[in-house]
């Protein structure tokens, strides 16, 4: 059995830790470290931890020496490297939430520490474990579409997701959260690009984008500053905080209601009062905050072997969606993750034909999590693979080791640099 300690008892770390509930013979949670007393005590109650197994910080935990096999690090972006370094030194292997670093310098520092202390780090690129993407990877490895020529990916960030996390939420400014919107939201997708390329290095990156819609100049006419206090058009507004969070009280709840987590099962009235607090960003007009991260960004990559790839992040869409189109020398693969199905096409030279296509529908192939489990069914599969790696098993096809996750992050860092400096960035 692998023993693990939760560091940062937020939504993501608790999701991975829940694997211990499903497979108590494989994983046991034996500690928690979090400066937030409420979250620390909630995790302790969930996993039957004693006060001696609870810590205020990663540094306090590291000072105790190694008291478990591994760490599940779900801290915020800016804390990933500073909290992981002392834990590596203390002897822990780490499952680390993405993005694992804020910049190339931090990535190098983390990699050097992992090498120095001979520790395993797996990055939470959960989409590699989603059946939709893992089945596509298998087909590529088997040569189903020949040599890759071009990859096109896109993520459509829905209106409620962008409002809850990147306009009103804690990822709304790079100078406070540490990560750009591209890295916070799409480092999964950039990782997939490099994963499908099987180790071929990215060589050039160029990117365009910006914050062009969710800013004061585009606020609806006659809109107020606060949705529930002074806005005469709130009832008609697509970004009304009432419609997003009172009419849908469980949507993005770990983020929206964090400010009243001290209240046990708050009522709708208490939630409404919370959304009327002028100091609460969720009370404010979506066009009139101090958000600075982009609301759209396009990235173009050239790999060392000449393959080109694009990724488009578009915020404020009606439907949340990830889609992919891979074109190879012998065929192509095209699909939408949220539908949990994709199509494989091949050239067909028979008279009266142009191409053949086969639809792979994972909804009818025994995938009970489908597109509606966490990250397309990838969350707990990643946790299982981390446990398997620590048990000494050979890394799986999806395994997201730090070494194998670096190129995707380098693309993201370079894309942001390209957009900010208006130039092509060449990767070393």
Nearest to 151 by CA among 120, 207, 109, 190: 190
pLDDT score at 374: 60
Q: What percent of the chain has pLDDT over 90?
A: 95
Alpha-carbon distance of 312 to 321, in angstroms, equals 12
pLDDT score at 377: 76
Q: pLDDT digit string (tens) for 265-275? A: 999 999 999 99
pLDDT over threshold 90, residue 372: no
Kindly give the residue spans of alpha helices, DSSP state H, lying in 101-226: 104-117, 131-141, 159-161, 174-177, 181-196
Q: Map out the domains of the chain as residue ranges.
A: 2-97, 127-214+291-426, 216-283
pLDDT over threshold 50, residue 79: yes
Cα 26 from chain centroid (whole Å): 25
pLDDT over threshold 50, residue 39: yes
- pLDDT (mean) for 347-361: 95
pLDDT over threshold 50, residue 381: yes
pLDDT band, residue 115 (cuts 50/70/90): very high
Judged by DSSP in three states, 281 sits in helix
Query: Per DSSP, which regions of 176-304 are E strands?
Result: 202-210, 296-303
pLDDT score at 371: 39
- pLDDT (mean) for 351-367: 84
Alpha-carbon distance of 14 to 131, in angstroms, equals 22
Q: What percent of the chain has pLDDT over 70?
A: 97
**Fold identical between 2-97 and 127-214+291-426?**
no
pLDDT over threshold 60, residue 279: yes
pLDDT over threshold 50, residue 370: no
pLDDT over threshold 70, residue 283: yes
The dihedral sign for the CA sequence 190, 193, 196, 197: negative
pLDDT score at 378: 81
- pLDDT (mean) for 205-209: 98
pLDDT band, residue 129 (cuts 50/70/90): very high
Q: How many residues does the chain have?
A: 428
pLDDT score at 369: 42
Fold for the domain defined by 2-97: Rossmann fold (3.40.50)
Nearest to 95 by CA among 382, 405, 398, 412: 382
pTM of structure: 0.93
CATH number of the domain at 127-214+291-426, please? 3.30.360.10
- pLDDT (mean) for 177-196: 97
pLDDT score at 235: 96
pLDDT score at 428: 79
Q: pLDDT digit string (tens) for 229-238? A: 999 999 999 9
pLDDT score at 375: 62
Torsion of CA 172, 175, 180, 181, to 10 degrees: 0
Of residues 369 and 117, the one with the higher pLDDT is: 117
pLDDT score at 364: 65
pLDDT band, residue 363 (cuts 50/70/90): confident
The dihedral sign for the CA sequence 128, 400, 395, 145: positive
pLDDT score at 376: 66
Q: pLDDT digit string (tens) for 151-165? A: 999 999 999 999 999
Alpha-carbon distance of 153 to 335, in angstroms, equals 10
Lowest mean pLDDT among 181-185, 251-255, 330-334, 375-379: 375-379
């Amino acid at each position: 059995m692998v023993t693990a300690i939760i560091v940062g008892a937020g939504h993501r770390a608790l999701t991975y830790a829940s694997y211990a509930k499903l497979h108590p013979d494989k994983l046991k949670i034996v500690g928690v470290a979090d400066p937030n007393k409420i979250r620390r005590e909630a995790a302790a109650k969930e996993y039957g931890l004693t006060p001696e197994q609870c810590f205020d910080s990663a540094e306090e935990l590291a000072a105790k020496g190694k008291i478990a096999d591994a760490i599940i690090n779900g801290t915020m972006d800016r804390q990933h490297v500073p909290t992981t370094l002392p834990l590596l030194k203390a002897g822990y292997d780490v499952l680390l939430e993405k993005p694992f670093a804020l910049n190339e310098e931090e990535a190098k520092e983390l990699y050097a520490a992992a090498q120095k202390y001979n520790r395993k780090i797996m990055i939470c690129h959960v989409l590699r474990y989603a059946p939709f993407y893992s089945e596509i990877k298998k087909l590529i490895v088997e040569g189903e579409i020949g040599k890759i020529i071009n990859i096109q990916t896109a993520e459509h960030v829905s209106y409620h997701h962008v409002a809850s996390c990147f306009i009103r939420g804690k990822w709304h400014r790079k100078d406070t959260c540490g990560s750009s919107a591209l890295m916070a939201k799409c480092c999964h997708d950039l990782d997939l690009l490099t994963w499908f390329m099987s180790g071929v290095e990215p060589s050039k990156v160029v990117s365009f984008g910006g914050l062009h819609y969710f800013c004061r100049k585009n606020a609806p006419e006659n809109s107020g500053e606060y949705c529930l206090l002074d806005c005469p058009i709130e009832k008609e507004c697509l970004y009304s905080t009432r419609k997003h969070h009172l009419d849908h009280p469980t949507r993005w709840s770990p983020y929206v209601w964090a400010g009243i987590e001290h209240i046990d099962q708050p009522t709708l009235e208490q939630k409404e009062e919370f959304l009327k607090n002028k100091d609460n960003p969720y009370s404010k007009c979506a066009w009139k905050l101090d958000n600075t991260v982009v609301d759209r960004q396009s990235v173009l990559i050239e790999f060392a072997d000449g393959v080109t790839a694009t990724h488009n992040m578009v915020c404020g869409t009606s439907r949340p969606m990830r889609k992919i189109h891979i074109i190879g020398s012998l065929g192509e693969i095209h699909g939408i993750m949220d539908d949990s199905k994709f199509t494989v096409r091949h050239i067909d030279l028979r008279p009266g034909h142009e191409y053949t296509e086969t639809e792979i529908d994972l909804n009818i192939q025994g995938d009970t999590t489908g597109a509606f489990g966490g990250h397309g069914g990838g969350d707990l599969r990643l946790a299982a693979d981390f446990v398997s790696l620590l048990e000494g098993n050979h890394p799986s096809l999806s395994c997201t080791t730090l070494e194998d996750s670096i190129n995707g992050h380098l693309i993201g860092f370079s894309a942001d640099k390209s957009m900010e400096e208006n130039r092509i960035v060449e990767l070393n």
